[in-house]
Amino acid sequence: MVKGAVSQPALLGGEPVRKRGFPGWPVWEKGDEEAWLQVLRSGKWYRGSGKAVDAFEAKFASVMGSPHCLAVANGTSALMTALHGLDVQAGDEVIVPPYTFIATVNAVLSKSALPVFVDSDARTFQMDASKIEAAVTDRTVAVIPVHIAGAAANMDRVMEVARRRKLKVLEDAAQAHLGEWRGRKLGTIGDTGTYSFQASKNLNSGEGGAVLSADSAFIERCFAYHTNSSPRKGAAVAPAQGANLRLTEFQATLLMTQMERLETQSKLRDANAAHLTKLLGEISGIIPAKLEDGCTRSAWHLYMFRYNAGEFAGLPRERFLKAMAAEGVPCSGGYTPLNKQPFLENVLQSRGYQRLFSAERLRQWRERNQCPVNDKLCTEGVWFTQTMLLGGREDMEQIAAAISKIRAHAAALAKG
Ligand SMILES: *Cc1c(COP(=O)(O)O)cnc(C)c1O
């Protein structure tokens, strides 16, 4: 029996397994401060005046093994920019997973395109790529596999169906810094891949984002788009719509210094996650998310598992989460079914969408917008955040001890 299983659960008045907090986020040192102040004192604060954004793009491209990188304001604008570069237009359809952050879908809606959901794979929490083909219609132009938690969606299958059905592939790698598919960095396998550097992400400048691609013409279209239709000097880009989605010099310089820690932090998360998976494997009713076979490295932005209440005396997940928090181990229930959120129906009923899509098409969409595996997954999923993997091995042992303790007292917790 794991230590801690015998004492009373903290939720019922016992001693918590853990009294210290988990490692804080973000982390910075003197070097980050110096670099940041240098930008401040230079008075060159925006991309057009300084060199930090250019330097960051070169560095990120090289670390990712991608020929080109465009830095943008955030992960959402990275998705919007990439969709522009792929020529996704009003009335198009784009295939997306339901187990993702809302931004993936908002980016599609920003183009007045229709997001079409394919169900999740319960074992991996990733998009079930075997179901993509059934979602393709004559209007489908692209698919957005999301590398959720920093683990890889099945890119072999995604690329195979995309090639066959002539779909563009945009990898949403917002959570996947340094994650890999068969040794290649996530976000470099499809036509394009996007990243986020928002505060919670494994590489953080408060806000920030990037678009990667091997296609220089695509990147130049994206460049012009992200700076109000103004092409890079010397680039031949057909005049088109744009926006201002530029990263600032402050964010870029912070990303440069933050990136020096990325590999070390990533290795630490990897080692801790492996230890935690081994420990959780011994607790019935806790099923850690499996990595796809081709996922040679996960970024561990989240540590996800399924909670089977049946193995915990029927203790509902919500109460399990409360009991964990009381033990000093915070966790969350993760995403709710995105494909069923009310904002989607409001969009479909909007004047614009009524003009763009026939009543028959929208009826079919509603009828086929069923993701039963994902619905169940959303009732079972539990997450730890990436910062909880940045401490020592004993932290993993305490996480497992808290779960074992709750399991040993599950019947009492269910009643109380
Ligand atoms: C964070 C995130 C985004 C959006 O990034 P922002 O920088 O917050 O705009 C998009 N997709 C996924 C999967 C994310 O986790």
For the stretch 24-58, pLDDT in tens is 999 999 999 999 999 999 999 999 999 999 999 99
Q: Which atom of ligand 1 is nearest to the CA of 197?
A: 7
For residue 1, what pLDDT is reported?
A: 43
Mean pLDDT of 366-390: 98
CATH number of residue 18's parent domain:
3.90.1150.10
For residue 95, give the CATH number of its domain: 3.40.640.10
CA of 241 to the centre of ligand 1 (A): 23
Beta bridge partners of 68: 213
CA–CA separation, 169 and 411 (whole Å): 48
Structural domain includes residue 348 = no
Mark residue 12 as left, alpha or beta (left: phi above 0; alpha: psi -120 to 50; beta: remaining): alpha
Domain count, the chain: 2
Residue at 369 is within a domain: no
Per-residue pLDDT tens for 207-217?
A: 999 999 999 99
Q: Which of 104, 247, 255, 300 is the pocket-test mutation for ligand 1 (most atoms within 8 Å of CB)? A: 104
Q: What is the pLDDT of residue 266?
A: 98
User: Do 73 and 182 sit in the same domain of this protein?
Assistant: yes
Q: Is residue 1 part of a domain?
A: no
Quick one: 148 and 268 in the same domain? Answer: no
Atom of ligand 1 nearest to the CA of 79: 10
Contact 150, 176 (CB under 8 A): yes
Residue whose token pair is 């598919």:
181
Residues 229 and 269 in one domain: no
pLDDT number for residue 6 = 59
Amino acid (one-letter) located at 272: N
If asked whether residues 147 and 269 sit together in one domain, one would say no
pLDDT at residue 5, as a whole number: 47
Average pLDDT over residues 189-201: 98
Summarised one tens digit per residue, pLDDT across range 332-344 is 999 999 999 999 9
Task: Judge contact between 142 and 96, C-beta under 8 A.
Answer: no
Contact (CB, 8 A) for 378 and 302: no
Structural domain boundaries, residue 62: 30-260
pLDDT at 416: 78
Check residue 386 and report its DSSP letter: G
Cα 64 to ligand 1 centre (Å): 18
Q: Which residues line ligand 1 (CB under 6 A)?
A: 74-76, 100-101, 103-104, 146, 172, 174-175, 196, 198, 209
Residues 39 and 158 in one domain: yes
Residues 208 and 330 in one domain: no
Q: How many CA atoms lie within 13 A of 217 on its CB side?
A: 5
Average pLDDT over every residue of 155-184: 98
Give, for ligand 1, the residue of 125, 147, 172 to mutate: max count of ligand atoms closer than 8 Å to Cβ: 172
Q: What is the pLDDT of residues 238-289, one digit of tens each?
A: 999 999 999 999 999 999 999 999 999 999 999 999 999 999 999 999 999 9
